């Protein structure tokens, strides 16, 4: 009798925990407001160490993380991120960098000539850095932390390079603001699976498919409001004409090329 009860409880607990597995990914939302509670150094270090299990090119770990906790340093970083309040409000700001400097220094100290001052090496290091960043994000969110990923990192990288004193062959590629959540925003919508998964070959999008895949997104009240407050006719216009414009993209592309040259990744 008690054995049966015991087994019953065990099985249901297993089910409970199993269904909760990775629940944080399914439930994830970007967190921009943080509680007045520090992120313990021990916890942060454990998460960074675990994230380093991520696959990495030739096991070289072509990344570095700069941890910003100092209020003055956050203030200096903020302009590079359009002064978004998360940067100064979050207890921790992480800047994740593509780093071929450390590996090159290792080579120089070991009678080997490094050859990593080129675009392919930047791509390899940026890849390592971004994969690491995402494993860290998953681990941190599973731990109850809230994150905001700042894509602005590659928009005005020179400010970040100067503030964090990044040497040649180190390039910032991602920023995370990290803290305990003080908000619980609604989850944002996603495109249907079929819109971004192709079987065997890439099937291009005609008008019919675009309508099919984007109609749900366009029908959402929050997106309709977004169009209205921006005084546009379509959601796509808000993106192409206000948020991510050709002119801005071209100006920032020129800056990005210049910065890659200055950091030694391009002739």
Q: Considering only residues 33, 43, 57, 156, which one is a binding residue for a second copy as defined by CB under 8 A? A: 57
SS3 53: coil
211 binds a second copy (CB under 8 A): yes
Query: What is the nearest approach in angstroms of a second copy to the Cβ of residue 19?
Result: 11
220 binds a second copy (CB under 8 A): no
137 binds a second copy (CB under 8 A): yes
Total residues interacting with a second copy, rule: CB under 8 A: 120
Between 61 and 89, whose beta carbon lies closer to a second copy?
61
SS3 220: coil
Name the segment binding a second copy (CB under 8 A); options: 32-40, 79-87, 111-119, 177-185.
Answer: 111-119
Cα 29 to chain centroid, rounded? 13
Q: How far apart are CA 260 and CA 170, in angstroms?
A: 9
Specify whether the CB–CB gap between 173 and 147 falls below 8 A: no
Query: What is the nearest approach in angstroms of a second copy to the Cβ of residue 59?
Result: 5
Q: Considering only residues 45, 83, 215, 219, which one is a binding residue for a second copy as defined by CB under 8 A? A: 45
Query: What is the nearest approach in angstroms of a second copy to the Cβ of residue 126?
Result: 8
Q: Considering only residues 43, 50, 89, 158, which one is a binding residue for a second copy as defined by CB under 8 A? A: 50
Residue 223 to residues 155, 243, 246: CA-CA distances in angstroms?
25, 14, 22
263 binds a second copy (CB under 8 A): no
235 binds a second copy (CB under 8 A): yes
Q: Considering only residues 3, 4, 36, 165, which one is a binding residue for a second copy as defined by CB under 8 A? A: 165
Q: Is 217 exposed, middle or buried (0-12, 13-18, 19+ CB in 10 A)?
A: middle
Q: How far apart are CA 161 and CA 153, in angstroms?
A: 10
Query: What is the nearest approach in angstroms of a second copy to the Cβ of residue 41?
Result: 10
Specify whether the CB–CB gap between 223 and 238 falls below 8 A: no
The Cα angle at residue 49 between residues 45 and 50, in degrees rounded to 5: 120
Name the segment binding a second copy (CB under 8 A); options: 32-40, 84-92, 146-154, 178-186.
Answer: 146-154
Specify whether the CB–CB gap between 128 and 63 falls below 8 A: yes
């Amino acid at each position: 009798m008690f054995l049966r009860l015991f087994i019953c409880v065990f099985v249901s607990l297993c089910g409970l925990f199993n269904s909760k597995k990775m629940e944080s990914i399914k439930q994830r939302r970007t967190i921009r407001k943080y509680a007045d509670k520090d992120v313990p150094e021990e916890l942060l270090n454990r998460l960074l160490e675990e994230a380093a299990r991520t696959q990495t090119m030739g096991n070289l770990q072509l990344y570095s993380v700069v941890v910003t906790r100092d209020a003055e340093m956050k203030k200096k970083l903020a302009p590079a991120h359009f002064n978004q309040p998360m940067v100064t409000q979050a207890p921790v700001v992480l800047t994740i960098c593509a780093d071929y400097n450390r590996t090159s220094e290792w080579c120089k100290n070991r009678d080997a000539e490094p050859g990593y001052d080129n675009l392919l090496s930047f791509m390899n290091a940026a890849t390592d850095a971004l994969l690491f960043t995402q494993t860290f994000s998953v681990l941190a969110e599973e731990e109850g932390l809230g994150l905001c990923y700042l894509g602005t990192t590659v928009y005005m990288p020179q400010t970040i390079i100067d503030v964090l004193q990044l040497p040649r062959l180190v390039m910032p590629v991602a920023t995370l603001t990290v803290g305990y959540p003080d908000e619980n925003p609604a989850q944002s919508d996603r495109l249907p699976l079929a819109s971004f998964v192709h079987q065997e070959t890439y099937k291009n999008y005609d008008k019919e498919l675009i309508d099919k895949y984007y109609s749900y997104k366009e029908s959402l009240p929050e997106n309709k409001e977004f169009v209205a407050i921006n005084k546009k006719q379509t959601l796509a216009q808000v993106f192409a004409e206000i948020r991510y414009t050709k002119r801005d993209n071209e100006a920032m592309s020129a800056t990005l090329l210049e910065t890659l040259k200055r950091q030694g990744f391009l002739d």
